[in-house]
Structure 1
Amino acid sequence: MRTGKKATPWCICLLVILQGFLFFGVWKLYLSYGTRPHKTEEKQPSVLPLSPTTKEKQPFFFLLSPTRPDVMTVTPWLAPIVWEGAFDPVIIDNMYKPQDLTIATTVFAVGKYTRFLRDFLETAEYHYMSGLKVHYYIFTDQSKDVDLLLKELRFAAGRVATVIPVPKYNRWQEISLRRMETIQKTIEARIGREADYIYCLDVDMKFHYRWGPEVLGSLVAAIHPWYYYFPREKFSYERRPASRAYIPEDQGDFYYMAAVFGGTIKEVHTLTKNCSENLNLDKGQGLEAIWQEESHLNWYLLHHKPTKLLSPEYLWDDLKRSQPREIQHVRFSAVIKNKMEVRENE
């Protein structure tokens, strides 16, 4: 068996000196980067965008500091809230684009709401999930008109649209009430084997800026742009205990808007099935929740926390003409319209 020679005192002394130099160098680097501005900068910005250029200039530990200290970026249950500046689009794209994902996207173009479909699709082709495969599922009671429209539009490679006929209902509320059931059944019939994620969006909307794979998650919900400043007792939840959508005034996390929700096929199927069942139970009792499927969506998300939330940047309303400072980019917004005119049998 081989045995090593004992270390001489001068070797031990040399090792201690080298360790001292190494420690001093690391400590000096920390002081240089962590406690004072760079020589080329007068002041470190309070909000640091995570870009490739920034990452080259900053030591790794600096990237762990909050990038949007002006807004809430994590929920109490540790789900991220997506804001501009809180993610690196280059890293996100490099993560998801090689996976060859297909994003199912449902939209209901019924009655007079069909008029909004062109702008929705044209702006989506420019901003929505750019570089990913997208399958639009368009539910409509005007199939011929929608088919003609689709022939006029150009879709990028890997992006297609399918028209799915639905009945014409007498009340717009009935359309809203049937939405969850329709999505659930379509997932079971075809979407479940045709896509990896599904996002359910309103048609009376337009995209204005990147709406990309940073939104992907298991169960994703969007914070309502009119309620994100309000305390929960002011939220427009269903307050009647008899309804399956009932939420007491002392409960609630956020108020979510039904214009945007999504996630994995499995999670969204479970969500839509639960909401559909509760909508039907209410109907059997002669009840209709204050905001139809949105009320049931909020109940579900209170009891089944979303794994990712979208800030109001990802769901805005053009009626909100004053844009708060924290909204750096309006990405997707509801267009201004005469609701009394477009909602048949109001």
Structure 2
Amino acid sequence: MFDPNLYDQRHIQLQSSVALTVFAVGRYLDAYLKNFLTSAEQHFMLGLPVTYYVFTDLPENLPNIELAPQRNLKVIQVEKHSRWQDISMMRMKTISEAIESEIRHSANYVFCFDVDQEFKGRFGSEALGDSVALLHAHFYKLPKHRFTYDRNPKSKAFMKTGDFYYHAAIFGGLWEKVKNMADACYLSIIEDKLNDVEALWHDESHLNKYFWLHKPSKLLSPEYCWDQSIADKRDINITRLIWAPKHYDTLRTP
């Protein structure tokens, strides 16, 4: 569907650089991080400068990964929250703070990933854009009335309708755009907390509300984050990133 060389040449000429943020907290670090980073080295933004920002509560347990030239890794220690839902929701604040303190000085673009994923094919400069959202693999074929937006009018994430259902496992764009999005989602999450409300799908619900009000400039197809358990993959010719096997019963705190 696209010529990868044209995208790569353009971004090399523009001297584009990319920051990748990923959270590896608690047991998720041992279960997923090494495979995530190793596969990213094989497929993510090859030919462009990349810095991995790993947020973890266990920096001493980081795996030893050999990085290619122009690729770096920075570790930022974060607090481990008692509930996995809070880890998920508070990442917006952490991402915003990292962009303000470090990322904005070294990268044009930011991509934010869940750690329980594995790169399987090219995930390159064709994915870069001002504001980038991902179509959720389980919803992109469904009618809108089946999208699981937050339907609670008391929540800041409340939506009557929308255009797409976006997956919070990946989002990105220019650092300014990502920071604006993270700030807006964080403020909505905090307002919900003050009102003793929790959105249905936590930060993903707030992300969907944000992209409903502020349309992304680029949509990534589910081939950029595919769940192999989906039986019907007739229109998915390439899987660039896949969901790793989920073990929520042993990895997540209550």
TM-score w.r.t. structure 1 length?
Answer: 0.72
Aligned to 2:3: 88
Instruction: Report 1 or 2 for greater relative contact order, CA contacts < 8 Å, sequence distance ≥ 6.
Output: 2
Aligned to 1:291: 201
- How much identity, in percent, do the aligned residues show? 43
SS of match in other structure, 2:159: coil
The superposition leaves residues 161-214 of structure 1 with CA deviations (integer Å, 9 ceiling, x where unpaired) of: 000000111110110110101101111111111110000001000000000000
SS of match in other structure, 1:116: helix
SS of match in other structure, 2:162: coil
After TM superposition, the structure 1 = structure 2 runs for residues 187-202 of structure 1, keeping only pairs within 5 Å, are 187-202=99-114
Q: 2:37 aligns with which of 112, 116, 121?
A: 121
Distance 2:79 2:252 in 1: 16
Where structure 1 has 5 or more consecutive residues not aligned to the other structure, the ranges are 1-84
Q: 2:56 aligns with which of 140, 161, 185?
A: 140
The structure with more radius of gyration: 1
The superposition leaves residues 231-268 of structure 1 with CA deviations (integer Å, 9 ceiling, x where unpaired) of: 111101000011000001xx201100000000001100
Q: For residue 331 of structure 1, report the CA deviation from its aligned partner.
A: 0.5
Q: For residue 158 of structure 1, report the CA deviation from its aligned partner.
A: 0.6
The superposition leaves residues 126-167 of structure 1 with CA deviations (integer Å, 9 ceiling, x where unpaired) of: 000011100000000111001xx1xx3111111000000001
Distance 1:153 1:266 in 2: 29
After TM superposition, the structure 1 = structure 2 runs for residues 1-346 of structure 1, keeping only pairs within 5 Å, are 85=1, 87-114=2-29, 115-146=31-62, 149=63, 152-248=64-160, 251-320=161-230, 322-344=231-253, 346=254
- Counterpart amino acid of 2:147? F
Q: For residue 98 of structure 1, report the CA deviation from its aligned partner.
A: 2.6
Aligned to 1:9: none
Distance 1:176 1:293 in 2: 6
TM-score w.r.t. structure 2 length?
Answer: 0.98
SS of match in other structure, 2:145: helix
SS of match in other structure, 1:316: coil
- Is the Cα contact below 8 Å between 1:102 and 1:194 reproduced in 2? yes
The superposition leaves residues 29-66 of structure 1 with CA deviations (integer Å, 9 ceiling, x where unpaired) of: xxxxxxxxxxxxxxxxxxxxxxxxxxxxxxxxxxxxxx
SS of match in other structure, 1:106: strand
- Is the Cα contact below 8 Å between 1:223 and 1:312 reproduced in 2? yes
- Is the Cα contact below 8 Å between 1:217 and 1:263 reproduced in 2? yes
Distance 1:122 1:99 in 2: 27
- Is the Cα contact below 8 Å between 1:319 and 1:336 reproduced in 2? no
Q: For residue 100 of structure 1, report the CA deviation from its aligned partner.
A: 2.2
Distance 2:107 2:9 in 1: 20
**Aligned length, in residue pairs:** 253
Where structure 2 has 5 or more consecutive residues not aligned to the other structure, the ranges are none
CA RMSD of aligned residues (A): 0.9
